[in-house]
Amino acid sequence: MSWHDLGVAALGRALAAGEFSSTELTRHLLQRVASHEALGCFLHVDAEGALAAAKAADARRAAGEAGPLLGVPVAHKDIFVTADMPTTAASKILLGYRSPFDATVVARLAAAGTVSLGKLNCDEFAMGSGNENSAYHPVQNPWDHHRVPGGSSGGSAAAVAARLVPAATGTDTGGSIRQPASFTATTGIKPTYGVCSRYGMIAFASSLDQAGPLARSAEDCALLLSAMSGFDERDATSAQRPPQDFHAQMLAPRAGASAARPLEGLRIGLPKEFFPETLGGDVDITVRRALVEFEKLGATLVDVSLPRTELSIPVYYIIAPAEASSNLSRFDGVKFGHRAAQYTDLLDMYRKTRAEGFGPEVKRRIMIGTYVLSHGYYDAYYLQAQKLRRMIADDFQRCFAGCDLIAGPVAPTVAWKHGEQGDDPVKAYLADIFTLPASLAGLPGMSLPAGFGEHGMPVGLQLIGNYFAEGQLLQAAHAFQQATDWHQRSPL
């Protein structure tokens, strides 16, 4: 087994045992990143910075410091601002932009001793589901280069799947951690809204945006999330809770459980709306097989209903663009990045800068958002959507009265081919159906590899927990991964 086959926990142990140094490991992975450039995962590789950080981590260890992430390489979705690397949000409008500070998530992972190799490709401003909206270049799915890796955290998922990095950061507004994890057989968790600070995360839809890790296992995600999360006074929506050790929560034995049945007593709700006849790509059968495994581990499956699942699509595609239209008004050529070269007056400068700088999907969302917030349409669209959002959140609470976790598919199909969706953005919007409900409700959700479907492509199982039930989610996912090896399969 090569170093790049090891996950976060295993690397932490090997580094602690002195099997190799962070500097050696970082050199190895940088070479691997360079030889897999064609995948398109990275927008910026910082070899010099990474080697300096690795050297610093080695020095910290030599000085007696320990920690599961000390010296472990990672990479960040290019939505997180970084002081020592460019940040583009995969948009031309931020070409040349350099942040004066690090995002809280980036700073916390650095403080824990991780070594950042660079910035990862994504959909422009995290708007998309296939990484095809990046203004720079697409990302290939390492399982089939003709297919998308999912999105918007497509570079993060593909880099972890291709074993270029053991873990990466991602963001999830409507599924952008879970869906690419599902498409690449990686494990990703979107925590409860407010668990990770949004400070320094370029805002798309502020009431939905959450950061989280993508890695090769639930255990690795638990280690990353413990370091990334926690109260931050610079984010007004940050949850005021003490620091959490998700790894310990994941390992805590359940009352009444045994080694063979670690999930004894766990009730997993299956919303009937998550298993429509239209599921393609052998997703249904793959997910159901994984659920049988959960039963063997002691869990009980119960039927539940989330009657407004379908409505989450129009609700999300009103609320998210509305917030985006407001958030993206700051990119006007004055404060950040690109400014049009030729213009007549201030208004013309704004117009040309934004016309040149934003890609078609971003423009579409700004226009939809402006429309649904405009006088005369606000009540009909935005206000209605907000009311439905509350009802969707209430539906979940009714489910959680009878179960501990909710399970279903992450996406209705396996990864599609590049260009397959043509010019029809609605096709991609509809494919978000199973990830949007938890996003709208602010609930934690994760995707774990459940097997392989049509064309040998990965299928993810989604687990959704109640507010702040990350420990429980990770525990269930970990038990599944102790009993199966889907998460260990490699595309290369």
In b/e form, how buried is each residue of 39-76, taking b as 16+ CB within 10 angstroms?
Answer: bbbbbbbbeebbbebbbbbbebbeeeeebbbbbbbbbb
Which one, 176 or 447, has the nearer CB to ligand GLN? 176
CB of 370 to ligand GLN, least distance (A): 17
Is 387 noted as a catalytic residue in this protein?
Answer: no
Question: Residues, the chain, total?
Answer: 492
Q: Is 467 left (phi over 0), alpha (psi -120 to 50) or beta?
A: beta
Contact of 392 with 434, CB cutoff 8 Å: no
Q: Which of residues 384-413 bind ligand GLN (CB under 6 A)?
A: none
x/- binding map, residues 190-229, to ligand GLN, per CB under 6 A? --------------x-------------------------
Q: Which of residues 107-166 bind ligand GLN (CB under 6 A)?
A: 126-129, 152
Using DSSP, how many helices (H) and how many strands (E) does the chain show? 16, 11
CB of 127 to ligand GLN, least distance (A): 5
Which of 174, 180, 449, 451 binds ligand GLN (CB under 6 A)? It is 174
| List 77, 91, 119, 156, catalytic entry | 77
CB of 210 to ligand GLN, least distance (A): 9
Which one, 183 or 204, has the nearer CB to ligand GLN? 204
Q: Answer positive or negative: Cα dihedral of 161, 162, 167, 171.
A: negative
* Residue 354 phi, psi (nearest 5): -70, -35
Which one, 291 or 438, has the nearer CB to ligand GLN? 438
Contact of 89 with 327, CB cutoff 8 Å: no
Which one, 174 or 451, has the nearer CB to ligand GLN? 174
Which one, 87 or 481, has the nearer CB to ligand GLN? 87
Is 99 noted as a catalytic residue in this protein?
Answer: no
User: Tokens 């407010």 identify what position?
Assistant: 194
Q: Does 323 bind ligand GLN (CB under 6 A)?
A: no
Q: How far, CA to CA in Å, does 283 sit from each of 59, 183, 293, 299, 405?
A: 47, 11, 16, 21, 20
Is 152 noted as a catalytic residue in this protein?
Answer: yes
| List 99, 116, 129, 176, catalytic entry | 176
Nearest to 481 by CA among 451, 455, 438: 451
Q: Which of residues 176-195 bind ligand GLN (CB under 6 A)?
A: 176
Contact of 157 with 186, CB cutoff 8 Å: yes
Stretches 138-146, 156-164, 167-175, 381-389: which one binds ligand GLN (CB under 6 A)?
Answer: 167-175
Q: Does 318 bind ligand GLN (CB under 6 A)?
A: no
Alpha-carbon gap, residue 275 to 164, rounded angstroms: 34
Residues that bind ligand GLN (CB under 6 A): 126-129, 152, 172-176, 204, 320, 432
Which residue numbers are catalytic? Answer: 77, 152, 176
